[in-house]
Structure 1
Protein backbone atom coordinates (compact mmCIF):
# COMPACT_ATOMS: atom_id res chain seq x y z
CA UNK A 1 0.00 0.00 0.00
CA UNK A 2 2.94 2.34 0.63
CA UNK A 3 4.08 1.89 -2.97
CA UNK A 4 0.56 2.55 -4.21
CA UNK A 5 0.19 5.72 -2.14
CA UNK A 6 3.65 7.10 -2.90
CA UNK A 7 3.29 6.63 -6.64
CA UNK A 8 -0.23 8.02 -6.78
CA UNK A 9 0.68 11.09 -4.74
CA UNK A 10 3.57 12.02 -7.02
CA UNK A 11 1.40 11.46 -10.08
CA UNK A 12 -1.37 13.58 -8.56
CA UNK A 13 1.00 16.46 -7.83
CA UNK A 14 1.99 16.52 -11.50
CA UNK A 15 -1.64 16.30 -12.58
CA UNK A 16 -2.38 19.37 -10.43
CA UNK A 17 0.75 21.08 -11.85
CA UNK A 18 1.93 21.70 -8.30
CA UNK A 19 4.88 24.13 -8.29
CA UNK A 20 4.74 24.21 -12.08
CA UNK A 21 5.47 20.49 -12.57
CA UNK A 22 3.37 18.82 -15.26
CA UNK A 23 5.87 16.54 -17.05
CA UNK A 24 5.80 13.15 -15.33
CA UNK A 25 8.99 11.62 -16.75
CA UNK A 26 10.91 12.03 -13.48
CA UNK A 27 8.40 9.70 -11.80
CA UNK A 28 9.15 6.75 -14.11
CA UNK A 29 11.19 5.18 -11.30
CA UNK A 30 8.14 5.28 -9.06
CA UNK A 31 5.85 3.86 -11.74
CA UNK A 32 8.10 0.99 -12.80
CA UNK A 33 9.68 0.01 -9.49
CA UNK A 34 7.80 1.32 -6.45
CA UNK A 35 4.38 1.17 -8.07
CA UNK A 36 4.85 -1.89 -10.28
CA UNK A 37 7.38 -4.31 -8.83
CA UNK A 38 6.71 -3.52 -5.16
CA UNK A 39 2.94 -3.90 -5.57
CA UNK A 40 3.33 -7.18 -7.44
CA UNK A 41 5.54 -8.50 -4.63
CA UNK A 42 3.05 -7.33 -2.00
CA UNK A 43 0.26 -9.02 -3.92
CA UNK A 44 1.94 -12.40 -3.43
CA UNK A 45 1.66 -11.97 0.35
CA UNK A 46 -2.05 -11.30 -0.02
CA UNK A 47 -2.63 -14.53 -1.89
CA UNK A 48 -0.68 -16.40 0.80
CA UNK A 49 -3.02 -14.88 3.39
CA UNK A 50 -5.98 -16.05 1.34
CA UNK A 51 -7.04 -12.51 0.40
CA UNK A 52 -7.82 -12.99 -3.28
CA UNK A 53 -9.51 -9.58 -3.56
CA UNK A 54 -6.42 -7.82 -2.21
CA UNK A 55 -4.22 -9.90 -4.50
CA UNK A 56 -6.27 -8.91 -7.53
CA UNK A 57 -6.33 -5.21 -6.66
CA UNK A 58 -2.62 -4.92 -5.88
CA UNK A 59 -1.65 -6.90 -8.97
CA UNK A 60 -3.90 -4.80 -11.19
CA UNK A 61 -2.61 -1.47 -9.92
CA UNK A 62 0.97 -2.73 -10.07
CA UNK A 63 0.53 -3.60 -13.73
CA UNK A 64 -1.23 -0.28 -14.37
CA UNK A 65 1.69 1.67 -12.93
CA UNK A 66 4.16 -0.43 -14.91
CA UNK A 67 2.26 0.17 -18.13
CA UNK A 68 1.90 3.88 -17.45
CA UNK A 69 5.61 4.16 -16.74
CA UNK A 70 6.41 2.33 -19.98
CA UNK A 71 4.35 4.87 -21.93
CA UNK A 72 6.45 7.68 -20.46
CA UNK A 73 9.81 6.02 -21.20
CA UNK A 74 11.48 8.10 -23.94
CA UNK A 75 13.51 5.10 -25.13
CA UNK A 76 10.34 3.24 -26.13
CA UNK A 77 9.28 6.14 -28.33
CA UNK A 78 5.58 5.61 -27.74
CA UNK A 79 4.69 9.29 -28.02
CA UNK A 80 6.92 9.59 -31.10
CA UNK A 81 5.00 6.78 -32.78
CA UNK A 82 1.99 9.11 -32.78
CA UNK A 83 4.06 11.96 -34.17
CA UNK A 84 4.32 13.58 -30.74
CA UNK A 85 1.52 14.74 -28.51
CA UNK A 86 -1.07 14.77 -31.25
CA UNK A 87 -4.84 14.38 -31.25
CA UNK A 88 -4.47 10.64 -31.80
CA UNK A 89 -2.05 10.38 -28.88
CA UNK A 90 -4.43 12.08 -26.44
CA UNK A 91 -7.34 9.96 -27.65
CA UNK A 92 -5.23 6.83 -27.13
CA UNK A 93 -4.26 7.97 -23.63
CA UNK A 94 -7.92 8.65 -22.93
CA UNK A 95 -8.82 5.11 -23.93
CA UNK A 96 -5.96 3.70 -21.85
CA UNK A 97 -7.09 5.44 -18.66
CA UNK A 98 -10.79 4.94 -19.41
CA UNK A 99 -10.50 1.15 -19.54
CA UNK A 100 -8.64 1.16 -16.24
CA UNK A 101 -11.45 3.32 -14.87
CA UNK A 102 -13.89 0.57 -15.84
CA UNK A 103 -11.75 -2.02 -14.06
CA UNK A 104 -11.60 0.14 -10.94
CA UNK A 105 -15.40 0.41 -11.14
CA UNK A 106 -15.54 -3.36 -10.69
CA UNK A 107 -13.27 -3.08 -7.65
CA UNK A 108 -15.48 -0.29 -6.29
CA UNK A 109 -18.65 -2.33 -6.76
CA UNK A 110 -17.05 -5.37 -5.15
CA UNK A 111 -15.82 -3.29 -2.23
CA UNK A 112 -19.25 -1.71 -1.80
CA UNK A 113 -20.98 -5.10 -1.93
CA UNK A 114 -18.65 -6.50 0.72
CA UNK A 115 -19.18 -3.41 2.87
CA UNK A 116 -22.96 -3.79 2.62
CA UNK A 117 -22.70 -7.45 3.59
CA UNK A 118 -20.48 -6.49 6.50
CA UNK A 119 -22.94 -3.88 7.75
CA UNK A 120 -25.84 -6.30 7.28
CA UNK A 121 -24.00 -8.89 9.35
CA UNK A 122 -23.74 -6.34 12.16
CA UNK A 123 -27.52 -6.20 12.35
CA UNK A 124 -27.56 -9.98 12.66
CA UNK A 125 -24.82 -9.86 15.32
CA UNK A 126 -22.75 -12.27 13.27
CA UNK A 127 -19.10 -12.05 12.31
CA UNK A 128 -18.81 -9.44 9.56
CA UNK A 129 -16.73 -9.44 6.45
CA UNK A 130 -13.39 -7.62 6.95
CA UNK A 131 -14.21 -4.44 5.02
CA UNK A 132 -14.02 -0.82 6.10
CA UNK A 133 -14.88 2.68 4.98
CA UNK A 134 -11.29 3.81 4.33
CA UNK A 135 -10.73 1.26 1.57
CA UNK A 136 -14.12 2.08 0.09
CA UNK A 137 -13.31 5.80 0.11
CA UNK A 138 -9.99 5.09 -1.60
CA UNK A 139 -11.71 3.31 -4.48
CA UNK A 140 -14.18 6.18 -4.86
CA UNK A 141 -11.39 8.77 -5.04
CA UNK A 142 -9.47 6.66 -7.57
CA UNK A 143 -12.60 6.24 -9.67
CA UNK A 144 -13.13 9.99 -9.91
CA UNK A 145 -9.43 10.61 -10.53
CA UNK A 146 -9.19 8.11 -13.39
CA UNK A 147 -12.49 9.21 -14.89
CA UNK A 148 -11.44 12.86 -14.96
CA UNK A 149 -7.99 11.93 -16.27
CA UNK A 150 -9.56 10.12 -19.23
CA UNK A 151 -11.96 13.00 -19.80
CA UNK A 152 -9.12 15.52 -19.75
CA UNK A 153 -7.27 13.58 -22.44
CA UNK A 154 -10.34 13.43 -24.67
CA UNK A 155 -11.01 17.14 -24.16
CA UNK A 156 -7.37 17.89 -24.99
CA UNK A 157 -7.71 15.83 -28.16
CA UNK A 158 -10.66 18.04 -29.13
CA UNK A 159 -8.44 21.10 -28.82
CA UNK A 160 -9.76 22.54 -25.55
CA UNK A 161 -6.40 22.92 -23.84
CA UNK A 162 -7.42 25.20 -20.96
CA UNK A 163 -10.49 23.12 -20.08
CA UNK A 164 -8.43 19.95 -20.26
CA UNK A 165 -5.89 21.37 -17.82
CA UNK A 166 -8.65 22.32 -15.38
CA UNK A 167 -10.23 18.87 -15.51
CA UNK A 168 -6.83 17.24 -15.06
CA UNK A 169 -6.15 19.36 -11.97
CA UNK A 170 -9.47 18.35 -10.42
CA UNK A 171 -8.70 14.72 -11.18
CA UNK A 172 -5.29 15.17 -9.58
CA UNK A 173 -6.95 16.49 -6.43
CA UNK A 174 -9.00 13.31 -6.11
CA UNK A 175 -5.89 11.25 -6.78
CA UNK A 176 -4.16 13.17 -4.01
CA UNK A 177 -7.01 12.29 -1.65
CA UNK A 178 -6.71 8.62 -2.61
CA UNK A 179 -2.97 8.77 -1.97
CA UNK A 180 -3.50 10.31 1.47
CA UNK A 181 -6.00 7.57 2.30
CA UNK A 182 -3.38 5.06 1.20
CA UNK A 183 -0.85 6.56 3.61
CA UNK A 184 -3.51 6.49 6.33
CA UNK A 185 -3.90 2.75 5.74
CA UNK A 186 -0.12 2.33 5.96
CA UNK A 187 -0.07 4.29 9.23
CA UNK A 188 -2.88 2.10 10.55
CA UNK A 189 -0.97 -1.09 9.72
CA UNK A 190 2.28 0.20 11.23
CA UNK A 191 0.58 1.33 14.43
CA UNK A 192 -1.23 -1.97 14.71
CA UNK A 193 2.02 -3.90 14.45
CA UNK A 194 4.38 -1.82 16.57
CA UNK A 195 2.50 0.80 18.60
CA UNK A 196 -0.36 0.70 21.10
CA UNK A 197 -2.16 3.37 19.06
CA UNK A 198 -5.04 2.26 16.86
CA UNK A 199 -6.17 4.46 13.98
CA UNK A 200 -9.89 4.07 13.19
CA UNK A 201 -10.69 2.55 9.80
CA UNK A 202 -14.46 2.42 9.98
CA UNK A 203 -14.06 -1.33 10.31
CA UNK A 204 -17.29 -3.30 10.31
CA UNK A 205 -15.76 -5.83 12.70
CA UNK A 206 -15.26 -3.14 15.35
CA UNK A 207 -18.84 -1.98 14.92
CA UNK A 208 -20.05 -5.54 15.32
CA UNK A 209 -18.14 -6.04 18.56
CA UNK A 210 -19.48 -2.78 19.97
CA UNK A 211 -23.03 -3.75 19.08
CA UNK A 212 -22.61 -7.15 20.72
CA UNK A 213 -21.37 -5.52 23.93
CA UNK A 214 -24.35 -3.15 23.95
CA UNK A 215 -26.74 -6.05 23.41
CA UNK A 216 -25.24 -8.05 26.27
CA UNK A 217 -25.34 -5.07 28.64
CA UNK A 218 -29.03 -4.65 27.93
Structure 2
Protein backbone atom coordinates (compact mmCIF):
# COMPACT_ATOMS: atom_id res chain seq x y z
CA UNK A 1 0.00 0.00 0.00
CA UNK A 2 1.18 3.52 -0.70
CA UNK A 3 1.54 6.20 1.97
CA UNK A 4 -1.52 8.02 0.65
CA UNK A 5 -3.65 4.87 0.91
CA UNK A 6 -2.51 4.42 4.50
CA UNK A 7 -3.45 7.97 5.31
CA UNK A 8 0.16 9.20 5.52
CA UNK A 9 0.14 12.02 3.00
CA UNK A 10 3.53 13.01 1.57
CA UNK A 11 5.07 16.38 2.08
CA UNK A 12 3.23 19.03 0.11
CA UNK A 13 -0.03 17.08 0.01
CA UNK A 14 -1.78 19.93 1.77
CA UNK A 15 -1.57 21.85 -1.50
CA UNK A 16 -3.48 19.14 -3.41
CA UNK A 17 -6.75 20.98 -3.11
CA UNK A 18 -5.25 23.99 -4.89
CA UNK A 19 -4.28 21.89 -7.88
CA UNK A 20 -7.79 20.71 -8.64
CA UNK A 21 -9.22 17.18 -8.59
CA UNK A 22 -7.08 14.58 -10.34
CA UNK A 23 -4.26 17.02 -11.19
CA UNK A 24 -0.95 15.43 -10.19
CA UNK A 25 1.43 18.21 -11.20
CA UNK A 26 1.38 21.92 -10.67
CA UNK A 27 3.86 23.55 -13.11
CA UNK A 28 4.20 26.55 -10.78
CA UNK A 29 5.60 24.36 -7.99
CA UNK A 30 8.67 22.13 -7.74
CA UNK A 31 6.85 19.07 -6.43
CA UNK A 32 4.32 16.52 -7.62
CA UNK A 33 1.22 15.84 -5.54
CA UNK A 34 0.36 12.16 -5.35
CA UNK A 35 -3.39 11.49 -5.33
CA UNK A 36 -5.01 8.35 -3.84
CA UNK A 37 -5.26 5.71 -6.57
CA UNK A 38 -8.58 4.16 -7.57
CA UNK A 39 -6.77 1.07 -8.86
CA UNK A 40 -7.30 -2.00 -6.67
CA UNK A 41 -4.28 -3.39 -4.84
CA UNK A 42 -2.57 -5.85 -7.26
CA UNK A 43 -0.28 -7.18 -4.52
CA UNK A 44 -2.34 -10.31 -3.85
CA UNK A 45 -2.39 -11.23 -7.56
CA UNK A 46 1.36 -10.81 -7.89
CA UNK A 47 2.16 -12.76 -4.73
CA UNK A 48 -0.24 -15.63 -5.45
CA UNK A 49 1.17 -15.93 -8.97
CA UNK A 50 4.73 -15.91 -7.72
CA UNK A 51 4.02 -18.39 -4.92
CA UNK A 52 2.20 -20.91 -7.13
CA UNK A 53 4.86 -20.97 -9.84
CA UNK A 54 7.70 -21.11 -7.33
CA UNK A 55 6.04 -23.97 -5.46
CA UNK A 56 5.59 -26.05 -8.64
CA UNK A 57 9.22 -25.63 -9.72
CA UNK A 58 10.46 -26.28 -6.18
CA UNK A 59 8.50 -29.56 -6.06
CA UNK A 60 10.37 -30.58 -9.20
CA UNK A 61 13.73 -29.47 -7.79
CA UNK A 62 13.25 -31.75 -4.78
CA UNK A 63 12.13 -34.50 -7.19
CA UNK A 64 8.66 -34.90 -5.73
CA UNK A 65 7.19 -38.25 -6.90
CA UNK A 66 10.30 -38.80 -9.01
CA UNK A 67 9.69 -35.86 -11.37
CA UNK A 68 13.00 -34.33 -12.49
CA UNK A 69 12.26 -32.56 -15.80
CA UNK A 70 11.06 -28.97 -15.22
CA UNK A 71 9.26 -28.52 -18.58
CA UNK A 72 5.81 -28.84 -16.98
CA UNK A 73 6.40 -25.44 -15.38
CA UNK A 74 6.58 -23.69 -18.79
CA UNK A 75 2.85 -22.90 -18.96
CA UNK A 76 2.79 -21.65 -15.38
CA UNK A 77 5.95 -19.61 -15.91
CA UNK A 78 4.55 -17.86 -18.99
CA UNK A 79 1.02 -17.09 -17.89
CA UNK A 80 0.91 -17.23 -14.07
CA UNK A 81 4.35 -16.34 -12.77
CA UNK A 82 5.09 -14.34 -15.91
CA UNK A 83 2.10 -12.53 -17.40
CA UNK A 84 0.03 -12.18 -14.21
CA UNK A 85 3.00 -10.85 -12.24
CA UNK A 86 3.98 -8.50 -15.05
CA UNK A 87 0.48 -7.04 -15.07
CA UNK A 88 0.55 -6.70 -11.28
CA UNK A 89 3.80 -4.79 -11.61
CA UNK A 90 2.33 -2.48 -14.24
CA UNK A 91 -0.65 -1.73 -11.99
CA UNK A 92 1.68 -0.88 -9.12
CA UNK A 93 3.19 1.98 -11.17
CA UNK A 94 0.13 4.30 -11.11
CA UNK A 95 -0.35 3.47 -7.42
CA UNK A 96 3.07 4.97 -6.69
CA UNK A 97 4.49 1.75 -5.22
CA UNK A 98 8.07 1.68 -6.51
CA UNK A 99 8.99 -1.48 -4.57
CA UNK A 100 5.94 -3.40 -5.80
CA UNK A 101 6.28 -2.43 -9.45
CA UNK A 102 10.00 -3.24 -9.44
CA UNK A 103 9.59 -6.63 -7.76
CA UNK A 104 6.52 -7.90 -9.64
CA UNK A 105 7.67 -6.68 -13.05
CA UNK A 106 11.17 -8.11 -12.60
CA UNK A 107 10.05 -11.52 -11.36
CA UNK A 108 7.37 -11.67 -14.04
CA UNK A 109 10.14 -11.12 -16.58
CA UNK A 110 12.24 -13.77 -14.79
CA UNK A 111 9.58 -16.44 -15.18
CA UNK A 112 9.03 -15.56 -18.83
CA UNK A 113 12.77 -15.74 -19.51
CA UNK A 114 13.04 -19.05 -17.66
CA UNK A 115 10.16 -20.49 -19.67
CA UNK A 116 11.87 -19.35 -22.88
CA UNK A 117 15.00 -21.29 -21.90
CA UNK A 118 12.96 -24.49 -21.43
CA UNK A 119 10.93 -24.19 -24.66
CA UNK A 120 12.64 -26.56 -27.14
CA UNK A 121 11.91 -24.37 -30.16
CA UNK A 122 13.88 -21.50 -28.58
CA UNK A 123 17.06 -23.45 -29.26
CA UNK A 124 18.72 -22.15 -26.10
CA UNK A 125 19.36 -25.51 -24.46
CA UNK A 126 20.45 -27.24 -27.68
CA UNK A 127 22.93 -24.44 -28.38
CA UNK A 128 25.15 -25.85 -25.62
CA UNK A 129 26.71 -29.05 -26.94
CA UNK A 130 28.80 -29.47 -23.79
CA UNK A 131 26.70 -30.32 -20.69
CA UNK A 132 29.20 -28.53 -18.44
CA UNK A 133 28.82 -25.34 -20.46
CA UNK A 134 25.03 -25.55 -20.08
CA UNK A 135 25.28 -26.06 -16.32
CA UNK A 136 27.68 -23.15 -15.93
CA UNK A 137 25.46 -20.91 -18.08
CA UNK A 138 22.39 -21.76 -16.00
CA UNK A 139 24.43 -21.19 -12.84
CA UNK A 140 25.40 -17.71 -14.02
CA UNK A 141 21.77 -17.02 -14.90
CA UNK A 142 20.68 -17.94 -11.38
CA UNK A 143 23.52 -15.98 -9.76
CA UNK A 144 22.29 -12.82 -11.50
CA UNK A 145 18.88 -13.30 -9.90
CA UNK A 146 20.48 -14.03 -6.55
CA UNK A 147 22.25 -10.66 -6.75
CA UNK A 148 19.05 -8.86 -7.79
CA UNK A 149 17.01 -10.46 -5.01
CA UNK A 150 19.65 -9.63 -2.39
CA UNK A 151 19.64 -5.99 -3.49
CA UNK A 152 15.84 -5.95 -3.44
CA UNK A 153 16.01 -7.23 0.13
CA UNK A 154 17.51 -3.89 1.19
CA UNK A 155 14.38 -2.17 -0.09
CA UNK A 156 12.17 -4.54 1.90
CA UNK A 157 13.86 -3.73 5.20
CA UNK A 158 11.79 -0.56 5.54
CA UNK A 159 8.52 -2.41 4.83
CA UNK A 160 7.80 -5.43 7.02
CA UNK A 161 9.29 -8.65 8.41
CA UNK A 162 7.34 -10.98 6.11
CA UNK A 163 8.71 -9.41 2.94
CA UNK A 164 12.21 -9.57 4.39
CA UNK A 165 11.79 -13.29 5.08
CA UNK A 166 10.33 -13.83 1.60
CA UNK A 167 13.26 -12.20 -0.18
CA UNK A 168 15.78 -13.71 2.23
CA UNK A 169 14.59 -17.27 1.53
CA UNK A 170 14.36 -16.50 -2.18
CA UNK A 171 17.97 -15.28 -2.21
CA UNK A 172 19.09 -18.55 -0.61
CA UNK A 173 16.99 -20.47 -3.13
CA UNK A 174 18.69 -18.81 -6.10
CA UNK A 175 22.13 -19.23 -4.52
CA UNK A 176 21.70 -22.93 -3.79
CA UNK A 177 20.24 -23.66 -7.22
CA UNK A 178 23.16 -21.82 -8.83
CA UNK A 179 25.63 -23.81 -6.72
CA UNK A 180 23.80 -26.97 -7.72
CA UNK A 181 24.36 -26.12 -11.38
CA UNK A 182 28.03 -25.24 -10.83
CA UNK A 183 28.85 -28.35 -8.80
CA UNK A 184 26.43 -30.83 -10.35
CA UNK A 185 25.45 -32.06 -6.90
CA UNK A 186 21.81 -33.14 -6.73
CA UNK A 187 21.67 -32.64 -2.95
CA UNK A 188 22.49 -28.94 -3.34
CA UNK A 189 19.75 -28.54 -5.95
CA UNK A 190 17.32 -30.34 -3.65
CA UNK A 191 18.30 -27.98 -0.84
CA UNK A 192 17.49 -25.08 -3.16
CA UNK A 193 14.14 -26.68 -3.90
CA UNK A 194 13.48 -27.00 -0.17
CA UNK A 195 14.14 -23.32 0.40
CA UNK A 196 11.96 -22.62 -2.64
CA UNK A 197 9.06 -24.40 -0.96
CA UNK A 198 9.56 -22.31 2.17
CA UNK A 199 9.68 -19.19 -0.01
CA UNK A 200 6.40 -20.14 -1.65
CA UNK A 201 4.73 -20.68 1.74
CA UNK A 202 5.84 -17.24 2.95
CA UNK A 203 4.63 -15.72 -0.34
CA UNK A 204 1.22 -17.38 0.11
CA UNK A 205 1.01 -15.91 3.61
CA UNK A 206 1.85 -12.43 2.30
CA UNK A 207 -0.68 -12.84 -0.50
CA UNK A 208 -3.50 -13.77 1.89
CA UNK A 209 -2.53 -10.84 4.10
CA UNK A 210 -2.78 -8.48 1.11
CA UNK A 211 -6.14 -10.03 0.19
CA UNK A 212 -7.72 -9.63 3.61
CA UNK A 213 -8.66 -5.96 3.76
CA UNK A 214 -9.56 -4.70 7.22
CA UNK A 215 -12.87 -3.20 6.05
CA UNK A 216 -13.96 -6.45 4.35
CA UNK A 217 -12.55 -9.23 6.55
CA UNK A 218 -13.26 -10.54 10.03
CA UNK A 219 -9.53 -10.63 10.77
CA UNK A 220 -6.23 -9.84 9.10
CA UNK A 221 -2.81 -11.48 9.01
CA UNK A 222 0.03 -9.36 10.40
CA UNK A 223 3.06 -8.88 8.17
CA UNK A 224 5.26 -7.81 11.05
CA UNK A 225 5.77 -4.09 11.25
CA UNK A 226 9.23 -2.57 11.35
CA UNK A 227 9.85 0.70 13.14
CA UNK A 228 10.30 3.46 10.59
CA UNK A 229 13.31 5.71 10.54
CA UNK A 230 12.78 8.85 12.58
CA UNK A 231 12.89 12.08 10.59
- Taking the TM superposition and a 5 Å limit, the aligned residue runs for 1:1-218 are 1-83=47-129, 86-112=131-157, 114=158, 131-156=159-184, 164-192=185-213, 194-204=216-226
| Unpaired stretches in structure 2, ≥5 consecutive residues | 1-46
Paired with 1:6 and 1:48, the residues of 2 have a C-alpha distance of 26
| Unpaired stretches in structure 1, ≥5 consecutive residues | 115-130, 157-163, 208-218
Paired with 2:186 and 2:54, the residues of 1 have a C-alpha distance of 18
Secondary structure at the residue paired with 1:81?
A: coil
Per the normalisation by structure 2, the TM-score is: 0.75
Task: Tell me how many residue pairs correspond in the alignment.
Answer: 182
* Residue 141 (structure 1) shift: 0.3
Higher helix content, 1 or 2: 1
Paired with 1:149 and 1:60, the residues of 2 have a C-alpha distance of 19
Per the normalisation by structure 1, the TM-score is: 0.79
Q: CA RMSD in A?
A: 1.7
Paired with 2:65 and 2:217, the residues of 1 have a C-alpha distance of 36
